[in-house]
Amino acid sequence: MRSKKSHWRAHAVLIVVLVAMIYPMVWLVGASFKPENQIFSTMNPLPLAVTLANYISGWTATGTSFTVYLGNSLTVSLCTVIANVASCSVAAYAFARLDFAFRRFWFGLMLGTMMLPFQATLIPQYTIFFNLNWVNTFLPLVVPYLLAYDAFFIFLMVQFIRGIPRELDEAAALDGAGHVRVFFSVILPLLKPALLTTTILTFIWTFNDFLRQLVYLSDHSRYTAPLGLNAFVDRASGSSYGGMLAMSVVTLVPTVAVFLVSQRRLVEGVATTGIK
């Protein structure tokens, strides 16, 4: 049995580490409410006088409103989530439950694509989308996910479906249900936890993605939140730190909100997929 004392020591160490880790974020939020001239004058994250000036000036500082950027980010993220959940669950059902020729081969290839650096396909994909005239639209960002582009989530769902008792499918099959019925009325309802993990992770990853959006979107009216913030940084460099920090907070709010609502499920999901 471990002693109470060693628990206290562990708590003390963990809390120090925790505070050190979280301090920057607390500082960021606090600084965004400070008047410009107090941002770098103190370590105290709490503003002496709360002001919304940074938010008001930052919101439209790039010439396009952050309402537009956030709206674009939400559109891209939600479309990606729907596409990803639908396409990956269908593929996962095939891998986990159906017996077809070359299944092992395709499965191995699927795992292989998880290790593929996405830079490897960035330029040819760009060329393809450029020739389709899709550049500066959301299509290059979303369409690949309609076709189960991110194998990580297929893998996650395959693992989960394997844990669902086969007797359930077989009973439904005996009832005359075909694969489509089994998939929709047996597997999908039971797959809900994995679908939720997929939804949350896809949303957060897409919302925070930068390189892909940077490459494909060139018009301010199409910019997503990370691109809008980046445009701000380019423009501000040295002048308006307050607005820049305030808009950083703004672009973090949607993902942090999703995290707070779902943190329990998310933490469990990551822990279990990591170890198969």
Residues in region 146-175 near other proteins by CB under 8 A: 146-149, 154, 168, 171-175
- What is the total count of residues that contact other proteins (CB under 8 A)? 107
Q: How far is the CB of 85 from other proteins (least distance, A)?
A: 12
Q: How far is the CB of 202 from other proteins (least distance, A)?
A: 12
Which residue carries 């439209």 as its tokens? Answer: 60
Q: Which residues make Cβ contacts (< 8 Å) with residue 208, sequence separation at least 6? A: 226, 255
CB atoms within 10 A of CB 138: 18
Residue closer to other proteins by CB (options 49, 275) is 275
| DSSP label at residue 275 | T
Residue closer to other proteins by CB (options 59, 205) is 205
Q: Is-contact 156 197, C-beta < 8 A?
A: yes
Q: How far is the CB of 50 from other proteins (least distance, A)?
A: 19
Q: How far is the CB of 53 from other proteins (least distance, A)?
A: 18
Q: Is-contact 169 187, C-beta < 8 A?
A: yes
Q: How far is the CB of 216 from other proteins (least distance, A)?
A: 10
Which helix H or strand E contains 54, and what residues bound it?
A: helix 53-59
Residues in region 3-62 near other proteins by CB under 8 A: 6-7, 10-11, 13-14, 17-18, 21-25, 27-28, 31, 40, 42-43
Rg (CA), the chain: 23
Return d(Cα 171, Cα 219) in angstroms, integer: 54
Residues in region 57-96 near other proteins by CB under 8 A: 87-88, 90-91, 93-95
Return d(Cα 55, Cα 52) in angstroms, integer: 5
Return d(Cα 34, Cα 206) in angstroms, integer: 30
Q: How far is the CB of 174 from other proteins (least distance, A)?
A: 5
Residues in region 94-113 near other proteins by CB under 8 A: 94-95, 98-101, 103, 106, 109-110, 113
The angle formed by the CA atoms of residues 217, 219 and 223, to the nearest 5 degrees, is: 60
- What tokens appear for 33 in the block? 């409410």
Residues in region 201-260 near other proteins by CB under 8 A: 204-205, 207-211, 214-215, 226, 229-230, 233-234, 237, 241, 244-245, 248-249, 251-252, 255-256, 259
Binding mask 108-137 for other proteins (x = CB under 8 A): -xx--x-xxxxxxxxxxxxxx-x-------
Nearest to 216 by CA among 116, 88, 84, 128: 128
Q: How far is the CB of 270 from other proteins (least distance, A)?
A: 5
Residue closer to other proteins by CB (options 78, 164) is 164
First to last CA, the chain: 31
Q: Is-contact 221 203, C-beta < 8 A?
A: no
Binding mask 250-269 for other proteins (x = CB under 8 A): -xx--xx--x---xx-xx--
